[in-house]
Structure 1
Amino acid sequence: MMPSYRPESAPPGEKALYVALASSPDTEGWIVLHSLAIAEHVRQVEGEADFVVIVPDHGVLVIEVKSHQTITVLDDGQWKLGHDRPTPRHPFKQANEAMHSLRGFLESKNLDLRSIPLLSCAWFTEVRARTMLPSSTEWHDWQVLDSEDRRKGVPAAILRTLEEGKAHLDAKIQYFSYGGVGPDHELTDRIASILRPRFELATVAGDRRRVREQELISFIGEQYEALDAMQDNRRVLFTGPAGSGKTLLATEAARREVSMGRSGRLLCFNRFLGRRLVSDMDDLPGVTVGTLHKELLRIAGVQPHPGAGQDFWERELPDRAMEVLLEGGEGLVRDFLVVDETQDIVREPYLDVLDLMVSGGLEDGRLLLFGDFERQAIFDASDGRELLRSRVGQLTTHRLITNCRNLPRIGYQVNTFSKLQPGYQRFRRRDDGFDPSVFTYKSGSDQSEQLVSAVRTLRNDGFELNEIVVLSPLEGNSTASRTTDTWLRQVLRPADGTASRPGQLSYSTIQAFKGLEARAVVVTDIDRHTMPNFESLLYVGLTRATDRLFALIEAGTLRAALGGTV
Structure 2
Amino acid sequence: MVEMIPNNLISDEVKSEAEKDLFYQFRDEKTDENFVVLHSFALPEHQSKKFGEVDFVIISRKGIVCVEVKGGIVSRKNGRWSFTNRYGHTNEKNEGPFQQAQGNMCSLQNSLKKVFDRDSPIVNCTYACCVVMPGCIFEDRSPEVIPDICFDQRSEISLKNIVDTSIKYWNSRNKYGFVRDDLSDEDIKKAAGILRGDFCCTTILKNDLDRIEKKIATLTEEQFDVLDQMSDNARVLISGPAGSGKTVLAMELAERSFYEGKDVLYLCYNRSIAQYVKDCFAEKNVDVNVKTFHAYLEDCCGKEANENSDRYFKQILPEKFLDQKNSFAYDLLIIDEGQDLLIPANLKCMDKMIKSGMQNGNWAIFYDVNQNIFNANESFESCFSKLSCNAAKFRLTKNCRNTREIIDTNISVSNVTTQGTPLVDGGLDSVSLKYSSLQSEYDQVIGVLHELREKSVPACDIVLLSKYSLDNPQNCLNGKNLDLVPWSLKITSPLWKARKDEIRFSTIHSFKGLDAKVIILMDVDDFKSPQARLLNYVGISRAEALLYVFYDENKNADREQMLIESFKN
TM-score when scaled to structure 1?
Answer: 0.63
1:546 maps to 2:541 = no
Give the AA of the match of 1:449.
Answer: D
CA distance in 1, matches of 2:14, 2:356: 53
| 2:493 maps to amino acid | D
Equivalence map 1:376-455=2 (5 Å): 376-382=371-377, 384-391=380-387, 394-421=390-417, 423-424=418-419, 426-432=421-427, 434-455=428-449
What SS does structure 2 have at the residue aligned with 1:480?
coil
String of CA shifts for 1:216-261, please: whole Å, max 9, x gaps. Answer: 3553253233111232111101100000000000111111111111
Q: SS of 1:455's equivalent?
A: helix
What's 1:171 paired with? none
* Superposed displacement of residue 429, structure 1: 2.0
Assess if the C-alpha contact under 8 Å between 2:462 and 2:519 holds in 1: yes
**2:215 paired residue number:** 216
Q: 2:362 aligns with which of 366, 373, 383?
A: 366
Question: Contact 1:497–1:513 (CA<8 Å) still a contact in 2?
Answer: no
1:371 partner amino acid: Y
* Contact 2:199/2:455, CA 8 A, preserved across alignment: yes
Structure-1 residue corresponding to 2:166: none
Q: Please say if residues 469 and 521 of structure 1, whose CA atoms lie closer than 8 Å, have aligned partners that are also in contact.
A: yes
219-228 vs 481-490, greater mean Cα deviation:
481-490
How far did residue 447 of structure 1 move?
A: 1.8
User: How far is 1:211 from its partner?
Assistant: 11
Aligned to 2:490: 493
Q: Contact 1:49/1:64 (CA < 8 Å) preserved in 2?
A: yes
Assess, with a 3 A threshold, how the Cα gap between structure 1 residues 488 and 446 changes in structure 2: closer, same or farther.
Answer: farther
Counterpart amino acid of residue 395 in structure 2: R
Per-residue deviation, residues 101-126 of structure 1 (Å, max 9, x unmatched) = 59954974339xxxxxxxxxxxxxxx
- Paired with 1:393 and 1:49, the residues of 2 have a C-alpha distance of 50
Q: Aligned AA for 2:524?
A: I
CA distance in 2, matches of 1:461, 1:411: 24
Matches of 2:459 and 2:216 in 1, distance apart?
25
Counting only pairs closer than 5 Å after superposition, residues 15-414 of structure 1 correspond to structure 2 as 38-39=73-74, 49-52=84-87, 101=137, 104-105=152-153, 108-110=156-158, 208-209=206-207, 216=215, 219-220=218-219, 222=221, 223-282=223-282, 283-300=284-301, 302-324=302-324, 327-329=325-327, 332-373=328-369, 375-382=370-377, 384-391=380-387, 394-414=390-410
Greater shift in the superposed pair: 377-386 or 347-356: 377-386
Choose 214-223 or 315-324, whichever is displaced more. 214-223
Shift in Å at residue 314 of structure 1?
1.1
Structure 1 unmatched runs, 5+: 5-34, 53-62, 66-96, 112-199
SS at match of 1:563: helix
Whether contact under 8 Å (2:281, 2:287) holds in the other structure is: no
Alpha-carbon spacing, 1:469–1:399, altered in 2? closer, same or farther (3 Å): same
Structure 1 residue 349, shift from structure 2 partner:
0.9
CA 1:389–1:36: 2 relative to 1, 3 Å: farther
Q: CA deviation at 1:562?
A: 3.1
Unaligned runs of 5+ in 2: 1-11, 16-69, 91-132, 139-150, 160-197, 565-569
| Greater gyration radius | 1
CA distance in 1 between counterparts of 2:415 and 2:216 reads 31
Q: CA deviation at 1:284?
A: 4.2
3-state secondary structure, aligned to 1:255: helix
1:354: how far off? 0.8
Give the Cα separation in 2 of the matches to 1:464 and 1:305: 40
Q: Distance in 1 between matches of 2:535 and 2:513?
A: 13
SS in structure 2 of the partner of residue 405 of structure 1: strand
Letter matched to residue 362 of structure 1: M
Alpha-carbon shift at residue 270 of structure 1 (Å): 0.7
Tell me if the contact between 1:262 and 1:286 (Cα under 8 Å) persists in the aligned partners. no
Query: Which amino acid in 2 is paired with 1:382?
Result: N
Tell me the secondary structure at the aligned position of residue 220 of structure 1: coil
Contact 2:269 2:293 in 1 (8 A): yes
Quick one: structure 1 residues 345 and 490, their matched pair in 2 at CA, closer, same or farther if it must change by over 3 Å? same
CA distance in 2, matches of 1:64, 1:278: 46
The answer to whether the 8 A contact 2:71-2:134 is kept is no
C-alpha distance in 1, partners of 2:244/2:489?
A: 30
> What is the rounded CA distance, in whole Å, between the counterparts of 1:481 and 1:293 in structure 2?
30
Change (3 A) 1:508 1:308: same
* 1:450 positional shift: 1.2
SS of 2:371's partner is coil
Asked whether the 8 Å contact 1:480–1:492 carries over to 2, the reply is no
Structure 2 distance, partners of 1:355, 1:562, is: 46
Distance 2:412 2:524 in 1: 15
Compute the TM-score of the two structures, normalised by the length of structure 2.
Answer: 0.63
State the AA in 2 paired with 1:226: V
Aligned residue in 1 for 2:526: 528
Q: Secondary structure at the match of 2:219?
A: helix
Residues 335-394 of structure 1: CA deviation (Å, up to 9, x unaligned): 110010000000011111111000111111101110101x10000131524422314651
Bigger CA drift: 411-420 or 508-517? 411-420
The answer to whether the 8 A contact 2:265-2:290 is kept is yes
Deviations 1:142-195 (A, max 9, x none): xxxxxxxxxxxxxxxxxxxxxxxxxxxxxxxxxxxxxxxxxxxxxxxxxxxxxx
- Give the 3 Å change call, closer, same or farther, for CA 212–109 of structure 1 in structure 2: farther
Structure 1 pair 354/491, CA: closer, same or farther in 2 (3 Å)? same
SS at match of 2:561: coil
SS at match of 1:276: helix
Given residue 533 of structure 1, which amino acid in structure 2 is its aligned partner? Q
Q: Tell me if structure 2 keeps the 8 A contact 1:37–1:47.
A: no
Shift of 1:309: 1.1
Name the CA distance, whole Å, in 1 between partners of 2:464 and 2:203. Answer: 20
Residues in 2 aligned to 1:224 and 1:318: alpha-carbon distance in whole angstroms:
35
Q: How many Å separate the matches in 1 of 2:204 and 2:226?
A: 31
For residues 378 and 108 of structure 1, do their structure 2 counterparts lie closer, same or farther at Cα, with a shift above 3 Å needed?
A: farther
SS in 2 for 1:229: helix
Shift in alpha-carbon separation, 1:527–1:107, aligned structure 2, 3 A = farther
CA distance in 1, matches of 2:434, 2:360: 52
CA distance in 1, matches of 2:205, 2:348: 49
Could you say which residue in structure 1 is the equivalent of 2:165? Answer: none
Q: Verify the 8 A CA contact 1:518 1:545 in the aligned structure 2.
A: yes
Identity of aligned residues (%): 24
473-482 vs 200-209, greater mean Cα deviation = 200-209
Give the 3-state SS of the residue equivalent to 2:358 in structure 1.
Answer: helix
